[in-house]
Amino acid sequence: MVKKNNENWTFGIEEGEINNFLNTYNLTLSEHFDSASIENNYFIDKSGDLIIKVNGTHCIVLAERK
**How many domains does the structure of the chain reveal?**
1
Any residues with CB less than 8 A from the CB of 64 and at least 6 apart, and which? 27, 28, 30
* Res. 3: pLDDT tops 80: no
- What is the per-residue DSSP string for the chain? -TTTTT--------TT-HHHHHHHTTEEEEEEE-HHHHHHHHSB-TTS-B--PPPTT--EEEEEE-
Q: pLDDT tens for residues 14-63?
A: 889 999 999 999 999 999 999 999 999 999 999 999 999 998 888 999 99
User: How far apart are alpha carbons 28 and 32 in whole angstroms?
Assistant: 11
Please report the pLDDT score of residue 1 as a whole number: 65
Residue 39 lies in a domain: yes
Identify the domain containing residue 61 by its residue range. 27-65
Residue 20 lies in a domain: no
Residue 45 lies in a domain: yes
